[in-house]
Amino acid sequence: MNIDEARIKITDLRAEITKLSEAYYTKDAPLVEDNVYDQLYRQLEELEAKFPELVTKDSPTQKVGGKVLSEFSKVSHEIPMLSMGDVFSLEELEDFDRRLQKNVGREFEYNVELKIDGLALSLIYENGELVQGSTRGDGVIGEDVTNNIMTINDIPKKLSEPISLEVRGECYMPKSSFKNLNEQREIEGQTVFANPRNAAAGSLRQLDSSITKSRNLSTFIYTLINAEDYGVTTQKQAIEFMKKLGFHTNPSSETISNINQIEDYIEKYQDQRNDLEYGIDGIVLKVNDLATQAELGNTVKVPRWEIAYKFPPEQSETIVRDIEWTMGRTGVLTPTAVMDPVQLAGTTVSRATLHNVEMIRDKDVRIGDTVLLHKAGDIIPEVSQVVLKKRPDNLPEVAVPTNCPYCDSKLVHLEDEVALRCINPMCPAQIKEGLTHFASRNAMNIDGLGPRIIEQLFEKQMIKDVAGLYRLTADGLSQLEGFKEKSINNLLTAIDNSRSNSLEKLLYGLGIRHVGAKAAKLLAEEFNSMDNLMDASQESIANINTIGETIADSVTTYFENQEVHDLIQELKDASVNMDYLGGSEEVVSNPYFTDKTVVITGTLENYKRQELADQLEKMGAKVTNSVTKKTDYLIAGEKAGSKLDKANSLNVTILDETTLEGYLSSTQDAE
C-alpha cells in the first residue's frame, strides 16, 4: 500500500471509528460488538505506525473516551484520566513484557487485575467526606455526576479516616440487575441496553438521580491518586489502603513476577468469567512499584506501565430455524430466534431474543441464516451478526406480523416506542401473563398459582381475569391435571389469604404500566384506599415525591377505563381488601435472590438458619428444603453433606458465607 492508498484507508477508518465511538461512549448505544470495533482500531493503529506522517491530533488513536454531554456540568481532571493500551494475544502480551523488562533494566513485579466492563469514575474526598464524582469524559474534561454517585450503596460517603484524596475505578452494573433492567425495558417497549457497560453508563448519566438509584449500580476502586502522600509505594498496597478506608475493591488482584503466572491467571478467569456476578472482558497488567510507573510515564493517550489483555469473544455459530412471537402482560410482542442447539459460555443455547422488529431489520436476521451468538453481559443469549457469506440464495426477509397472533387485533407502534404492541385489553395472552404477575410473590403472593396452572384454568374457561381467581371452587380445581385434595386446599387457602393483602400489593398486582412495587406503596400511603386513588387527579398523583408525570398519566389513564371499574367492583364483591393497612414491610428487591429458589444446608457461623430464611423470603426468594433442578442457589455451611453433592451434580450455584454476605448487601427498594 502506498501513501495515497493509506491516506484514503485511514480517512475511512477514522470516520467509521469516530461514528462507532460516539455511539459507544456518548450515546451508550453501541452499533457493533466490541471485537469488531477493536479490529478496526487495530487496523488504524497499524497503518498510522507504518505511515507516521499521516498521524493527526484529531485521530481516534490520539484521543481518550468520548464527549461530555451538555446536560452535565464539566469537571477538569487535574491528572488526566487516560485509557489503556490493548493486546489481543498471549504473543502480544509477551512482547509487552519484553519491552518493559528492557526499558526498566531490573527485576520488577506486576499487579494483575480483572478488567471490569464498566464506566471509569473519579471520586474526590475532602477531610474524609465525599464531595465530587465525575466520569472520565475525554480524559481531561469529565461530567459531574455527584448527585448520582451518592445513590450507589458501595461508594462510601464518609471514609474511615478524615483524609483528603482522589480515587478512581469502575462503575458497573451486576449481571442480574442488567438482566432485570432489560426485561423491564422490554415490557415497557423501550430499547434494551446492549451490555452491562452501556447500561451502567446510561444509568450513571441520568438527570434524575432516583433512576440511577433504582438501577443497583456497584463499583470497584483500583487507583489511588498521589499515593506517595499516604506512604503507599505499590499498586497492591494502594488497593489494600483503599479497602481499609471503606472502598469496594476487587479481591482477585494478584502480585506476579513472571509471564507464565500471568498466563495462568488469564486461564483461570477465562474459565470463571461466566460465574462472576459482574462483567469482565479481560485482565489488566500493571507494574506494581509506583516509582517505576512514574519512571516509565505515559504516551499522549496511555500509560506505558500497564496493558489490557482482551479476552477473545465467546461466540458460537448456528442456524436460525424459526422466529417465534411471544406476548408479555403489557401487550409487547417479542420475537425470539429458534436455532440449532449450540454450546455457548458453558450452557446449551437454542433460543435468543431479538427484542423487537428494529433489531431484526438492523441485523437483517432471516429464517435459514447462519448467525453468530454471544451472551450479552455473559448472561443473555443474543445474535451478534449474520454470516452473510453463508446465506442461501433468495432467502426472504422475516414476515413481521400486523395482527396479534393470539387475538388477531391490529398491532400498533406507540409513540417513542420501538415495541410492537397489542392494545386489546382482552387479549388472552396478556391476560395469562397478567394473572401470573398478579399471583407473584411481590404482588398478591398466591403460592402455587404458576403459569402451568393458569394455562389450564384458562383453557377450561374457569377464569377470564384476576377476579375469577376468587370464584374458584374445590370441585372446579379437581378437574385440573395432577390436582388432588392437598393441592386444591393449599391453592384455595393461598387465594383466600390474598384477600387480606394491603392495597399496595393489589395495585402492583394489577400490572398498571410503570407502577412497580415501590410506586404502588407510595400511592397506597398517599391515598389510603382504592376509591381515593381512582378519584385522584393526575396532578395530585404527579406531586407525590418520585412519582412524576409518566406514572401519574399511566395511573389516571388506567382508571378511566370502564372495564377497570368493573374489575375493581368484582374484586370488592369477592371481599378483596381495598385499603392501605399501613405498617406492612417495605418490599425489598435483591438482584441475586428475588424470584430465586434457595436451599440452606450445613452449619452456618454468622447466621441462624430461620432468620436467614426469613431475610431471603423478604427479598422475594423461595426457601425450600430439597435441592432440585429448579434450585438457583445452595447456601452451604460446614458439614453440608448430601445436599452439597446433589447441588454439584445439578450445577446449582454454591454460596459460601463470604459470598452470601456480599449478595445480601446488594439490596434496594423494589421499583
Q: Tell me the residue ranges of DSSP E strands in 465-565.
A: none
* Total Cβ atoms within 10 A of residue 641: 11
Residue in 482, 524, 487 with CA at minimum distance from that of residue 503: 524
Backbone torsions φ then ψ of 272, nearest 5 degrees: -95, -10
Rounded to an integer, what distance in angstroms lies between the CA atom of residue 242 and that of residue 234? 12
Nearest to 252 by CA among 377, 93, 112: 112
State the DSSP code for 392.
P
Asked about 50 being catalytic, the answer comes back as no
Helix (H) or strand (E) segment spanning residue 382: strand 380-386
Q: CA 46, 52, 55: angle at the middle one, nearest 5?
A: 90
Note whether 508 and 517 are within 8 A (CB): yes
b/e map 590-620, b = 16+ CB within 10 Å = bbbbbebbbbbbbebeebeeeebbebbeebb
CB neighbour class for 482 (10 Å; exposed up to 12, middle 13-18, buried from 19): exposed
**Contact between residue 635 and residue 612 where contact means Cβ atoms under 8 Å apart:** yes
Residue 385 · residue 370 · CB < 8 Å: no
**Distance from C-alpha of 57 to C-alpha of 489, rounded to nearest angstrom:** 75
Exposure string of 28-40, with b = 16+ CB inside 10 Å and e = fewer, is bebebbbbebbeb
Distance between CA 531 and CA 579 in Å, rounded? 9
Pair type for strands 280-287 and 254-256: unpaired
What does the block give as the cell for 482?
A: 395432577
Question: Which residue in 99, 83, 81, 79 sits closest to 45, CA to CA?
Answer: 83
C-beta neighbour count of 126 within 10 angstroms: 12
Q: How far is CA 430 from the centre of its chain?
A: 25
Catalytic residue among 19, 57, 67, 115: 115
The three grid cell numbers given for residue 349, joined into one nine-digit string: 443455547
Among residues 480, 420, 99, the alpha carbon closest in space to that of 259 is found at: 99
Integer Cα distance of 438 and 440 in angstroms: 6
Are 313 and 33 a contacting pair, CB within 8 Å?
Answer: yes
Report in angstroms the alpha-carbon separations of 224 from 1, 49, 240, 285, 498: 45, 33, 11, 16, 53
Residue numbers annotated as active site: 115
